[in-house]
A and B are shown apart, each in its own frame.
Chain A
Amino acid sequence: MSAKAVSCTIKSPVALQIGDVVSDSSRPGVYITDITLAEPVNIQEISFKNYYTAYLTVRLQRREDGSSSKWVTCLRNYCLMSNPHAEAGSHDYFSIYRQQMSTEPDNVTTVRLILRQPSSEWLNFSIQEINIYPCAKEDSERDVPVWLSTLTPVDEPLDLNGLPDPETVSSSIQQMWALTEMMQASQTAASIGRFDVEGSYDVKLLSYT
């Protein structure tokens, strides 16, 4: 499905650290990235490119009825790198579908991605190229023309006793239709210029004929 990604604002990741951010020199192991959506969306898919993130938790803020928003966790500690110290999965592309989520991602206003990397090997970790795809709406499918849907033959066989042969009749009608279409296609815009007087219409002539 080639649904277009929803436009969203991705905020810069915030590190979760114990202690003072400025003075403490240890590197953070958790980043949180918020993505705000312009309008509530039913999410079909979230795709992204990994950069050394080991585990991902996804939380959604849903707009419930009565304009109250609720945070739910739809994906907990999803493993992106099987061994956090190794390279496997560190640069992979991932897609998370709504079927994998534990709650229905409907009417979502904000998506919060919690990135964890317990290994001290890596200087930085993040995820990039985040795209959120909405559910395809039913009416956005291209309409099937009416005549196509009536092409399948009727289930019950028609009682054609005493009726003329439909093949012969249809063939004659087709030829007559083709002749008329051909005549129409060959019509030109050429004119005799019956109502032209020196290149323009004369009102008196038009009213007499």
Chain B
Amino acid sequence: MAEKRRVGVEIMCDSKSAKADGDKEFLSQTGVSALLRGALLKLLESRPEDPVGFLAEHFGHLSSEADDGGAEHQSVSRALWHLSLAHHSQRSAFNNNVRVAYELLTQGVPRRLSGGVHGRLYSEMLRCLCSEGGLSGSTAAPLLRRIQSHDYEAVPFELFRQGVLTCAVFADYIRKSQCLYAAVASAPDRPAERTLCQAVLSTLREALETADGTDVARYLEASAKISPAKVAQAMAEAHPRAQRQDGPTMDAQEFEDAAAALFIARVRIVT
């Protein structure tokens, strides 16, 4: 085999098929075609705005993985990078990335724990995820208290996936609540009326508390509670015409905390 390859490389002007054979064997031996295929698949999954930069990062990560075997802080940052590739709404791509991140973190520890990811790494991952999602420390703290693990514990894959998904969804939720506050406030620079904020939050709470029935019945009932007509009615009742002057206000942070509390109350505590 080696002879043939040398021949193919040296005698360049010779038959083209020989050269092609040599090239093909070279590619298959080094596994470059598989590498490129994986890189292209990742590119298609994440569809970044800067494809070249993305590819550069991808190969950079691969090479550092090959070199180190992974120091711990690097494995966390690499896992974070993988998780940032797909939004949680792209379900299958997101799940793939979670799996890759999990593998990275479980092999990063020199003494492999049988249960899963090292608790300290898991907690650090969640903290970084929250801060990358734009959440302040104080907003994320109650959520992290519920889902993070002790340093000595081992986190299995299902729990890891659930924690990561919860942080990603929470980041989106807080962004949405900021949009909601902006919609409720009459002007960008003035805070929103307290009664209006409370009416809006209680509509959301009622929809979330729709309890009984099958899933479909619950969803229908909850969506009936948050239809535009219902919301308009709630707001008009909370803020009648006669009192539409300056009343007590609620600032953005308080609104955000109240909305966050609604979400966090429904997060299962890890035991």
- Chain A positions within 8 Å of B, measured between CB atoms, are 145, 147-148, 150-151, 153-154, 158-170, 172-177, 179-184, 186-188, 190-195
Contact = CB atoms under 8 A, between A and B. Distances in A.
10 contacts: A145-B221, A153-B229, A163-B236, A164-B185, A164-B235, A176-B173, A176-B177, A179-B173, A179-B263, A193-B153
B208 A177 contact: yes
B254 interface: no
B172 A179 contact: yes
B102 interface: no
Question: Which 7 residue pairs are nearest across A and B when measured between Cβ atoms?
Answer: A166-B232, A190-B158, A172-B180, A170-B228, A166-B228, A170-B231, A168-B183
A33 B231 CA distance: 64
Nearest to B262: A180
B149 A183 contact: no
B170 A170 contact: no
Nearest to B165: A186
A191 B208 contact: no
B226 interface: yes
Contact of B226 (A158, A160, A170, A179): A170
- Secondary structure class of chain B's binding surface, majority of residues: helix
Contacts of A161: 241, 244
Interface centre among A154, A167, A190, A195 (most CB of B within 10 A): A190
Contacts of A170: 226-228, 230-231
A154 B236 CA distance: 12
Given A173-B207, A181-B219, 17 more contacts: A147-B221, A160-B232, A162-B239, A163-B239, A166-B232, A169-B231, A172-B177, A173-B204, A179-B169, A180-B173, A180-B208, A183-B170, A184-B266, A186-B162, A188-B161, A192-B155, A195-B271
A159 B236 contact: yes
Contact of B180 (A153, A158, A173, A183): A173
B179 to A, nearest CB: 5
A174 B220 CA distance: 12
A169 to B, nearest CB: 5
A160 B229 CA distance: 11
Nearest to B238: A163
Given A176-B259, A183-B169, A190 B159 contact: yes
B166 interface: yes
A173 to B, nearest CB: 5
B179 A163 contact: no
B76 interface: no
Given A177-B204, A192-B155, A164 B266 contact: no
A191 B270 contact: yes
B268 interface: yes
A168 B180 CA distance: 8
B36 to A, nearest CB: 34
